[in-house]
Amino acid sequence: MKISKKINNVRREAMRFITKNIGSSQKASNKMMDDPTQIKLILICRPNARLGNLLLITPLIKEVSAVFPEAQIDLFVKGGLMPIILKNYNQIGEIIVLPKKPFSDLVAYLKVWLKIERKKYDLAINVDKDSSSGRLAVERSHAAFKFYGDDLNEIESKANDYLHIAKYPVYNFRNFLKSVSVETRNLPISEMDLKLDATELAHGKEILKDKFDNQKPTIAIFTFATGDKCFSESWWKDFYELLKIKYERDYNILEVLPVENVSQIQFKATSFYSKDVREIASVLANTVLFIGADSGIMHLANASHIPTVGLFSGLNIQKYQPYGFGSVAIDTNTIVSKNQYIVIIDEILLKNSQ
C-alpha cells in the first residue's frame, strides 16, 4: 500500500473517531423556525472531490433552491470541480474548496476549515450522514439550524428509491424540514443536472459534426472505469463488435476517452478527448444514448439529460444507478448475455425515436 493511501486511511479513521458523537439534527430541530422566509444564507457540505459524487448532490441543491428561493447557497467541497459543475446555478454564492491533497499544504488546508466559521449561516446541511468531514463542517459552522444528514424517521417505511445516493439526502432533508415545521415538497426527486446552456449545446453539436460527416444520430460509449468497475479489454472487444454489427449502419459510435487517454477497445472507434467537463457534457448531450460502466462520466452523461445505460459489476446498483431520461442500470453479474444488453438498448432507442 502506498504511503499516501495509508495516511488517508489513518486520517479517515481519525475523523470518524472525532465525529462519531457530533450533535444530531434532531437536537437542532427542537428550536422553532419562526419564519422560514428569513433563511437567507445556507451552507451545504460535501467535502469530496470525485466528479460523480459532486454531480450526485445537484438534486439536493435544486431541492434547497426550490424550498428557499431567496437564499444564497454556499458550498464546502474538495477539489476544483464544483465551480465548474454549478456554473449555471443562479443561487450559488461562495464555493469553499478544500485542497485535494491536504498534507501537501497543511496550513492552507486548516485555513479553509477556519473559513466556514467566519459567516453566520441560517442553515448548514451535511449531504452524507456517513461523511465525517461533512458532519464536522456542519458542527463548526455558525448556523442557527444544523442538519447533519441523519434519517430522522428511521422507523418509517422508505421510498423504493431511498438507497440512491442522490435521493436519500433529499428525503432526509425533507424529513428535517418537517421536524422544524417547514412545508416540504411532495414531488419526485429531481434528476442530476449540469444545466448546460444553449451556447454549450451548440458547441457540442459542432464537435460531433466535425467527427462525423453524416446526419446519423450518435451513440456514445465509455470503456474505462476505476478499479474493479472497469471491464476487461476482451469484454469490451466482444461488446463493441456486437454494437457495430447492430448499430453501425444507422448510428455513429463515439468513444469518449478518460483523462488517462486509454481505450479498452484499442481506439478502434472514432474517439473524443477533452479535459473540460462541460465540453464533454455538451458532446454527450447531443448523442442519443450513453453506454458505460459506473464512473464519473456515466453520471456526467446522466446529468446531461440523455438516456444512460450503466453497466454494473458490483453490488452498488441501487446506490449509484443512473435515473431519469429513460436511463437503466444493468447488473452484469445477473444479466451475462451481451445480446440481452442489445435488447435493452433497442428498447431505449425505440422509445427515444417515438
Query: Alpha-carbon distance 338 to 353, whole Å?
Result: 23
State residue 29's pLDDT score. 42
State whether 157 and 18 are in the same domain: yes
Cα–Cα–Cα angle for 90, 170, 292, rounded to 5 degrees: 85
- Average pLDDT value for residue range 63-69: 95
- 288 lies in a domain? yes
Say how far apart CA 342 and CA 173 lie, in whole Å. Answer: 39
Tell the residue number behind the cell numbers 450503466, with chain if given: 310
The answer on pLDDT for 30 being more than 50 is no
Same domain, 290 and 257: yes
pLDDT at 165 exceeding the cut of 80: yes
Range of the domain at 139: 3-179
11 pLDDT more than 50: no
Is 254 in a helix, a strand, or coil?
Answer: strand
Question: In 3D, which of 87, 72, 175, 80 has the Cα closest to residue 120?
Answer: 72
Sequence-separated (6 or more) residues with CB below 8 Å from residue 330: 309, 310, 311, 312, 341, 344
Give a yes or no: residue 190 inside a domain: no
138 and 126 in contact (C-beta within 8 Å)? Answer: yes
133 and 245 fall within a common domain: no
Question: Torsions phi, psi of 211, nearest 5?
Answer: -75, -40
Confidence of residue 38 (pLDDT cuts 50, 70, 90): confident
Enter the pTM of the model.
0.91
Residues 61 and 175 in one domain: yes
- Asked whether the predicted pLDDT for residue 19 surpasses 70, the reply is no
Residues 142 and 250 in one domain: no
Grid cell for residue 329: 442500470
Q: Are residues 226 and 165 in the same domain?
A: no
Strands (E), 8-154: 41-46, 72-78, 92-98, 120-126, 142-147
Query: How many Cα atoms within 13 Å fall on the side-chain side of residue 122?
Result: 17
* Whether pLDDT at 235 is above 50: yes
What is the average pLDDT across 320-331?
97
* Over residues 200-213, mean pLDDT: 97
In the sheet where 218-222 sits, what is the strand order? 270-272, 252-256, 218-222, 289-293, 308-312, 328-331
